[in-house]
Amino acid sequence: MPSVLRHRRRAAAVVAAAVSVCLVAGGCSSGDGPSSPSPLQQTFPSPDELSRAVLAALADEDADHLASLALSESEFRTVVWPELPSSRPERGLPFDYVWGDLHQKSTNALRRLVAGHGGRRYTLAGVAFRGETTPYETYRVHREAVLDLLDEEGNELTLPLFGSILERDGEFKLFSYVVD
């Protein structure tokens, strides 16, 4: 029994790390065709463009579109997972477990985001990252994104509306809606 508990704790720690590596709308590289060089869909040329896409979908209360901006299972499997330490066979963590946990947490965070901010029209003033940037072989993860915003009345706000942003080949994609 103690080994099961250790395995679960280790799995939770790895999932927490993957989640903290943390998803966004209609980007510059839609990847909608066979000529797309990137396995990532709906990427953007900058964190600002990605954030504006999230804000637009949030203003429209379009949870489906917001969800489509986050890493998909296929993107996580082909781009992210192979380079995570948790994917090593000696770790014993199955992909389905890690993805399922990340996806569930991101979906729950997205629901809270839409409930709390849906319909509001924010203007982006800037994006900052309060966490570290973690380099992997083919991508980097910018952690703890916070948005400097103006609300409809012109009030300045700083909000963590989503978690981390993945950068690959000069393109940016929302990792997940999980805010650590």
**pTM, two decimal places:** 0.78
How high is the pLDDT of residue 22?
Answer: 35
How high is the pLDDT of residue 19?
Answer: 39
Residue 89 · residue 62 · CB < 8 Å: no
Structure tokens at 32: 């909608």
Q: Is 60 exposed, middle or buried (0-12, 13-18, 19+ CB in 10 A)?
A: middle
How high is the pLDDT of residue 23?
Answer: 32
Structure tokens at 110: 């997205």
Measuring CA to CA, which residue among 171, 117, 115 is closest to residue 147? 117
Structure tokens at 33: 């065709």
Residue 163 · residue 145 · CB < 8 Å: yes
**In tens digits, what is the pLDDT along the chain, a chain of 180 residues?**
444 334 444 444 444 444 343 333 333 333 343 444 568 999 999 999 999 999 999 999 999 999 999 999 999 999 999 999 999 999 989 999 999 999 999 999 999 999 999 999 999 999 999 999 999 999 999 999 999 999 999 999 999 999 999 999 999 999 999 997
How high is the pLDDT of residue 69?
Answer: 93
